[in-house]
Structure 1
Amino acid sequence: MLGVRVLVAPDTFGSILTAREVAATVAAGWRDVAPADALDECPLADGGPGFVDTLHAALGGRLLPVTVPGPLGEPTPATLLLVDEPAGRTAYVESAQAVGLPLVPEDRRDPGRTTTRGVGALLVAARDAGARRVVVGLGGSSTNDAGAGMLVGAGLEVPAGLLDAGGGALGAVTAADLVGLRDLRARWRDVELVAATDVDVPLLGLTGASAGFAPQKGASPEQAQELERCLGSFAHAATTALADELRPDLLAGSRPTSAATRLTAAAGAGAAGGLGFGLALLGARVVPGGPFVADRVRLDERLAAADVVVTGEGRFDWQSLHGKVATEVAARALRHGIPTVVLAGEVQVGRRELSAAGITAAYAVGETPEEVRAALADPVATLRARAARVARTWSR
């Protein structure tokens, strides 16, 4: 009898397991109880951790090691993926390698101080390596500086410490301090910049960089509010400094605040602590990372050959519904008429939200505090065991 055709297409489980490790572990657990099923392992990424590794597996290319400033300024190793394409060389870089949350010890986490300067250094290294197009994966950051530090790392000339001291210092920045932004954009005009974001949130507001994400990076509620104010002030100063350099919004009329509103409210502007907004200031095109990666790993073609798809991530919560891997997989699976099963370390989304996202079922590796502790202590064994139980439900 023919077995079930299963596509295993997960993201990373935070910093615990890579997407490739998750896919292999889920496939192994599934085979434990359904050896006749055909499994296709398809690790994914959405712009956050694993972005370079996933694209390297799909596209090939050459990995170039570099060293850049980390979120607290210390030298940090990172990797560029260089792919020679018909239109020229493309460099793929992963912002999490320069500013990822695991790079900051828990007792030093402070999104008011961490900086994205290292991401600017990655851009410079990519250009120096001959890239005419640079795709930056955004996600998993320890930062909340709206990309201000990145602008310094990319070559913006400002007084020392003005923009690369973290988001907490941005409230005092004025448009006069940012007069060099025009020249910086001009110097990067010959390089196509693309920001592939892991979430579709705006820079400001209740789901923005500060209110939605700063707490998980170490901010208190009061600090998150102050960061919101600082990022709003910086956004106004930066868009005022660029003025007519920004593309006009024909629907917004001639209102002087329309450029700032358009850039801060754009989907993905709040990704990686507002790094999406900062890259847009530099002239980048901001795109959702999930679809970007899915297209390059031929996800639709692989879904068409499957009976069910299993996806997942470390924690499936409200953020997962804003542009993460699982929702992208579910949307595409729905078009192919196959069910989507989510397997995650923790599931914090209700059935109504799952159904609205096109997800058929979701299973947690750890459903009780004891199971969560066990999963953290031995993630491979517990994930494999959970995958085996899921297979008993979904295999013939």
Structure 2
Amino acid sequence: MRLVIAPDSFKGSLTAGDAAQAIRDGWLSVRPADEVVLAPMADGGEGSLDAFEAAVPGARREPVMAVGPDDRPVLTHWLKLPPTAELPGGTGVVELAATSGLPLMRDGLRPFDAHTFGLGQAITAALTLGVSRLLIAVGGSASTDGGVGALTAMGARLTDASGAPVSYGNLGAGKVARVSFDEVAPLPPAGAVVLTDVDNPLLGPRGAAAVFGPQKGASSDAAVRALEANLAHFASVVPDGRRLAETPGAGAAGGVAFGLLAWGAIISPGAPAVASALGLADTIAGADLVITGEGRFDGQSEAGKAPTHVAGLARTAGVPTALVAGAVEASVAQFSAAASLTELAGSTAAALAEPARWAFEAGAALARRV
């Protein structure tokens, strides 16, 4: 058999590359003669830089010192893709998870003051180097700041009723009285694209606060309502904010996508962009089986997550797809087989304690079924 393994990262436990290798090793322990091609995926969240770097020859990491989501310094990178005839300055790829991601919160969850200032610093660094286009992968945010932090780092002036700059986080979003983009760096010539794996609007029952706030420390209904109120206030003072707030995907990453829309960026599903850079459709053509996966396959997975997109590409090519996930919490009817690390390990805690071991076992279990 010819097998393509194209998982997303298992957030907090395995990178996409490590997951792909563990699944491959498990598979080959049962079927050692098979041909296996690894194609680690991403969908706009953690691992997007790695996926583009692996897919594009000549990609170069550029260092940047950023302010992390809890105000601590973070030495990280953005990625510069080589120039082309259409994009003479090259393309900059910035990953929010690397500057303002949830795992960077080292002193506990702070839903009201965690921020995306570091993301804005990385965007500014790429613009300063003269890129022709920006791709901004925004999954994995620690904050619900509506983009206040990122916009401030990019030169926006967000002031309260007294004319003083507001703080970077969600509390600051609720105090903005005036917004000025006069000193913000302009969009690069070919524009900026926000890559996301969700289609949630900024506000409402599917909005940033209601859906993602509890994951970031909003432990009560009152806290979620307060986050929502601050975002709603910010949207009311941003030019054309009420319309932008309704854009599918504006609620991504705690609403940072909304702030970037206000700057002039557009939103695009992340998984197709990464798959295109990888040439994944061509890789899948002629395969006998594709294995994809992620940490938790749930109700949000069909809204643009990597496994659903990979399965769609395989379906178009007439190739069956199997799923490996840390936990399976939604229907897997679109897959020919599925393996859950939690079920194989006996518990979530056991799976998280040794994720590579259980990804290996998942690969072996799928091979035995074939």
Common fold by TM > 0.5: yes
TM-score by length of 2: 0.93
Give 1:67-216 correspondences, 5 Å limit. Answer: 67-86=65-84, 87-88=87-88, 89-105=90-106, 108-159=108-159, 162-174=165-177, 177-178=178-179, 180-181=180-181, 183-184=182-183, 187-188=186-187, 190=189, 192-216=191-215
TM-score (norm 1): 0.87
Which deviations, in whole Å up to 9, do the C-alpha atoms of 1:115-163 show, x marking residues without a partner?
1111110111111222121111110110111111110000112349744
Aligned residue for 2:337?
361
Point out where structure 2 has 5 or more consecutive residues left out of the alignment.
none
Alignment of 1:30 with 2:27, yes or no, is yes
| Aligned residue pair count | 362
Match of 1:42 among 29, 39, 44: 39
CA deviations on 1:233-288 (whole Å, 9 max, x unpaired) are 21121035xxxxxxxxxxxxxxxxxx623x21222211111111111111111111
1:287 matched residue in structure 2: 268
Aligned residue type for 2:121: A
Q: Which residue of 2 aligns with 1:226?
A: 226
Q: Residue 147 of structure 1 contacts residue 276 of structure 1 at CA under 8 Å; is this kept in 2? A: yes
2:362 counterpart of 1:381: no
Contact 1:149 1:166 in 2 (8 A): yes
| Alignment deviations for residues 41-86 of structure 1 (CA, whole Å, 9 cap, x no partner) | 1000011111111100101311111111100121111111112222
SS in structure 2 of the partner of residue 391 of structure 1 = helix
RMSD: 1.9
What's the secondary structure of 1:96's corresponding residue?
helix
Structure 1's consecutive aligned runs of 4 or more residues displaced over 6 angstroms after TM superposition are none
Whichever residue aligns with residue 207 of structure 1, its letter is R
Q: Is the CA contact (8 Å cut-off) linking 1:131 and 1:191 kept in structure 2?
A: no
Does the CA contact (< 8 Å) of 1:201 and 1:322 recur in 2? no
Instruction: Give the percent of matched residue pairs that are identical in Structure 1 and Structure 2.
Output: 39
Q: Which residue is equivalent to 1:260?
A: 242
More helix by share: 1
Find 1:302's aligned residue among 278, 283, 297.
283
